[in-house]
Chains A and B, each alone.
Chain A
Amino acid sequence: MSEKTTYTLPIGPIHPALKEPVAFEFEIEGEKIVGVDLKVGHVHRAIEWIGTQRNPIQIIYLAERICGICNICHPLAFSRAVENIANIEVPERAEYIRTIMAELERIHSHILWAGVAAHEIGFDTVLHLSWAVREKVLDLIEYLTGNRITKAVFTIGGVRRDITKDQYPTINKALNYYKENLGVLVNTFLDDKTIQMRSKNCGILTEEDALKLCAVGPTTRASGIKKDVRVDQAYCAYGDLDIKVMTPDIVTGEVNGDVYDRIVVRLLEVEQSVDLIEQCLDKLPSGDLVAEPKIPKLLATLKKTEGEGIGRAEAPRGEVIHYVKLDGKNEAPYTWKVRAPTYNNLLAWIPMLMGEQIADIPIVAASTDPCMSCTNRVTVIRNNKKEILDNEELHRLSIEKTRRFAR
Chain B
Amino acid sequence: MTKESLKTFKKSLWVFHMNTGSCNGCDIEIVAALTPRYDIERFGMMLVGTPRHADVLLVTGPVMKNMEDKVKRVYEQVPDPKAVIVVGNCGATGGVFHESYSVAGPLDKIIPVDVYVPGCPPRPEAIIYGVAKVWLKLEEMEGKK
List A residues at the B interface (Cβ < 8 Å): 14, 16-19, 42-47, 49-50, 53, 61-62, 65-69, 71, 112, 115, 127-128, 131-132, 135, 138, 148-150, 371, 373-374, 390-392, 395
Contact = CB atoms under 8 A, between A and B. Distances in A.
A69 B28 contact: yes
A68 B31 contact: no
A17 B17 CA distance: 9
A65 B62 CA distance: 12
Given A16-B19, A65-B95, A395-B49, 13 more contacts: A17-B27, A43-B64, A44-B102, A45-B62, A65-B25, A68-B26, A71-B25, A132-B36, A135-B32, A148-B123, A149-B28, A149-B121, A150-B25
Q: What is the predominant secondary structure among interface residues of chain A facing chain B?
A: loop
B101 interface: yes
A341 to B, nearest CB: 14
B100 A128 contact: no
A68 B22 contact: yes
Interface of B: 17-29, 31-32, 35-37, 49-50, 62, 64, 66-67, 70, 95-97, 99-103, 120-121, 123
Closest 7 CB pairs of A and B: A68-B25, A392-B49, A131-B35, A68-B24, A16-B19, A46-B100, A132-B36
Contacts of B36: 128, 131-132, 135
21 contacts: A14-B67, A16-B17, A43-B21, A44-B66, A45-B21, A45-B62, A45-B97, A45-B103, A49-B100, A50-B99, A50-B100, A62-B96, A65-B97, A68-B22, A71-B23, A112-B28, A128-B35, A131-B32, A132-B37, A135-B35, A149-B29
> Which of the listed residues B29, B64, B70, B103 has the most CB atoms from chain A within 10 Å of its own CB?
B64
A44 B22 contact: no
Contacts of A69: 24-25, 28
A374 B22 CA distance: 14
B24 A392 contact: no
Contacts of B70: 14
Given A49-B101, A65-B96, A128-B35, A43 B66 contact: yes
Given A50-B97, A50-B100, A131-B36, A373 B49 contact: no
B66 A68 contact: no
A112 B30 CA distance: 13
Given A16-B18, A44-B64, A149-B28, A68 B121 contact: yes
Nearest to A13: B66
Given A16-B18, A373-B31, A135 B97 contact: no
Contacts of B50: 390, 392
A132 B127 CA distance: 18
B37 A135 contact: yes
A391 B53 CA distance: 13
Nearest to A371: B24
B62 to A, nearest CB: 7
B36 to A, nearest CB: 4
> Which of the listed residues A16, A17, A19, A128 has the most CB atoms from chain B within 10 Å of its own CB?
A16
A391 B52 CA distance: 13
Contacts of A149: 25, 28-29, 121
Nearest to B35: A131
B21 A65 contact: no
A125 to B, nearest CB: 11
Contacts of A49: 100-101
A132 B35 contact: yes
A66 B28 CA distance: 14
A127 B39 CA distance: 13
> Which of the listed residues B22, B28, B29, B64 has the most CB atoms from chain A within 10 Å of its own CB?
B28
Contacts of B22: 19, 68
Contact of B102 (A14, A45, A68, A112): A45
Nearest to A372: B24
